[in-house]
Amino acid sequence: MTIRQTNGRGKRYDSILDTVGDTPTIKINRIAPKNVDVYVKFEAFNPAGSVKDRLALNIIEAAERSGALTPGQTVVEATSGNTGIGLAMVCAAKGYPLVVTMAESFSVERRRLMRFLGAKVVLTPKEAKGFGMYSKAKELAEANGWFLASQFETSANADIHENTTAREILADFEGSNLDYIVSGYGTGGTITGLGRVMRKERPETKLILTEPANAALVASGYVNTRNEDHQPTEGHPNFNPHPIQGWTPDFIPWVLQEALDKKLYDDLIPVAGPDGIAWSRRLAAEEGIFTGISGGSTFAVSMKLAETAPEGSVILCMLPDTGERYLSTPLFEGVAEAMTEEEIALSQSTPGYRMGS
């Protein structure tokens, strides 16, 4: 067996921001059906741990180029966590103050990560859902003259996935078939950016969109009202609380609307939160791939798709983030902090350094 070795990347980086993107595509070896090849694009390899690092960087740099963001101006945004963490990293590296609004229902480690990166986090009542935290960010921006990042509306969102994520996938599968790409949506930037490119350059690839079964906004056919700036003016009537943090706010974002209007996806498959949790746990325990509930949910849909996919199909599943920002969520329920009985027995099975006696 050959001993693994590495040779470095052959370059040095001028900033942490230069390490965003170029995330790996990884084959699933133990838990995928044998009649298909399943890969994951693991966005946790971004420097702040999620796919949202891409849009966070592009939002800030696009605003700098246009003059919409001036030196030292405060940035404000509503987020379930990953965009806020990405923005906190970008703003720390570039010297912008950041204020994040976030519903109190999202995991506590997310707000702590943002504060650790120098951001201020303003919580909103969980009863007000995503629309409440979104409205609070707008209020703060208007009252203080801050730059509103507008992840749900800005063209900088899908643009970065068109110019980076999609290009990476094309390169990774050059000369190989790629039959399906599976993605959920938060803002819709990933599916919209991928759809723009794949429809032109890999039209044989089917794009599969997924959303929580109990918050089926797209499947409902109802589109919430928006103002002239494409900002939602109401919560979506089909929204219900779900455990897939980062997915499906209680409105259909303008960025996602492009994918809906232009039919940039081929099928919509719902997923139940408990299925996402179960597959996230299996990815960790059986493949060593540590992703969150959103990643587990996308993978659950990929596994469902694999059941009926033609022999030899190739499926790519987007994994948005790392599982570390879900420690206080149902994903880790039942994972013991103290030693289990089996672990105590192992400790006591040899004479030295025993615990639990």
Q: Are 315 and 303 in contact (CB under 8 A)?
A: no
Name 137's Cβ contacts closer than 8 Å, sequence gap at least 6.
76, 77, 78, 101, 148
Beta strands in the chain (DSSP E): 25-27, 37-42, 75-78, 98-103, 120-124, 147-148, 180-183, 206-212, 267-271, 314-319
| 328 classed as catalytic | no
| Token pair 């519903």 in the structure block, residue | 103
List the catalytic residue out of 80, 150, 280, 294: 294
| 294 classed as catalytic | yes
Question: Quick one: residue 44, left, alpha or beta (phi over 0 = left, psi -120 to 50 = alpha)?
Answer: alpha
Type of residue at 319? L
3-class DSSP state for residue 258? helix
Phi, psi of 288 (to 5 degrees): 75, 20
What's the rounded Cα separation, in Å, for the pair 219 and 215? 9
What's the rounded Cα separation, in Å, for the pair 324 and 327? 6
Q: Are 262 and 143 in contact (CB under 8 A)?
A: no
**Cα-based angle 114, 117, 120 (whole degrees, multiple of 5):** 55
> What residues does 212 pair with on adjacent strands?
271
List the catalytic residue out of 52, 129, 136, 206: 52
Q: Are 62 and 154 in contact (CB under 8 A)?
A: yes
Which of 137, 83, 141 is CA-nearest to residue 114? 83
Type of residue at 26? I
Residues involved in catalysis: 52, 294
